[in-house]
Chain A
Amino acid sequence: MGKGGMDYKGQKLSEQIYLVLIPAVGSVAWVFGYLAQDFKTTFYGWLAGLVLAMLICVPDWPIFNRNPTPWLEEIPSARKQTVVDDDDEDDAPAKATKAKKKKGGKS
């Protein structure tokens, strides 16, 4: 489930679809309404286009997830380093020097 996150290209595609679909269906409905001289025809046509756009663009369809954002590949050496260089050796002296510098600045 989740919040229905699409990938970036999927989001763009979804937006482009409704930006075109609603006015296209609406325009056709307007012409039919004009010919029938009945604005209700235009309204219901527009409503149909809106519902269709909602059905297509709102749910997280698989077509909007064809370009998943790739994760960076694991760098094995980097992981080893972090394991080896755990807080004890590198960080502790660094903190110590910082602390010393601060103290030195005050005095």
Chain B
Amino acid sequence: MHTYWVRLNAVFFYGLNVLLGLSCCAWVSCLQQDLDFHSDLPRPVVDTVRVNELLSLRAHGGVDRALLSFDVQADLTPAFHWNLKQLFVFVLAEYQTPKNELNQVILWDRIVETEEQAKLDERNIYVKYALIDQANELRNTSINYYLVWDHMPVTGRLFMDKGFGSKKILPKEYF
């Protein structure tokens, strides 16, 4: 504490420790909402995640690829609180094939930064990423469509939540 630099160093890094403490308090203050224990707080609602139109189902070099458009209606505003920086929202196709017990393919994603953007109402939007199988087993496969959102907090752990949308079987033949 005997020179400017020692004092500047002491004040600054003590200040950072205080900020860490404040951040941890903020995390704790949101735990009830995050973990949903003993609370009557509203939860995010997924109304619709469904295929609007299947545009094609083809094999490209031995690998099946489906292109489609879909509808999404969901209200994720209840996931927001002061310790949440943003949500990473994506549409997930989940299915089982003889080759893999579980396949998960992301078809579309969006970063939601404000509560106003968290009410999703998208109709007939085209996939960002095609539904591509690891092999050629998409035909006549039942696919579950989910909406998944990844919480990205200011402080604390990253965690995901997901809501089931719909189930649809792909056609038996390529088209």
Contact = CB atoms under 8 A, between A and B. Distances in A.
Interface of A: 3-6, 11-12, 14-15, 18-19, 22-23, 26-27, 29-30, 33-34, 36-39, 42-43, 46, 49-50, 53-54, 57-60
B82 A39 contact: yes
Chain B interface bracket (under 10, 10 to 19, 20 to 34, 35 or more): 20 to 34
Contacts of A34: 26, 29, 82
B169 to A, nearest CB: 44
B82 A6 contact: no
A46 B19 contact: yes
A29 B1 contact: no
Contacts of B2: 3, 5-6, 11
B144 to A, nearest CB: 35
Interface in B1-48: 1-5, 7-8, 10-12, 14-15, 18-19, 21-22, 25-26, 29
Interface in B62-107: 81-83
The interface residues of chain A, by DSSP majority, are classed as: helix
Contact of B11 (A3, A27, A57): A57
Contacts of A18: 10-11, 14
- In the complex, the 3 A-B pairs of residues with the closest C-beta atoms, listed nearest first: A11-B1, A3-B3, A50-B15
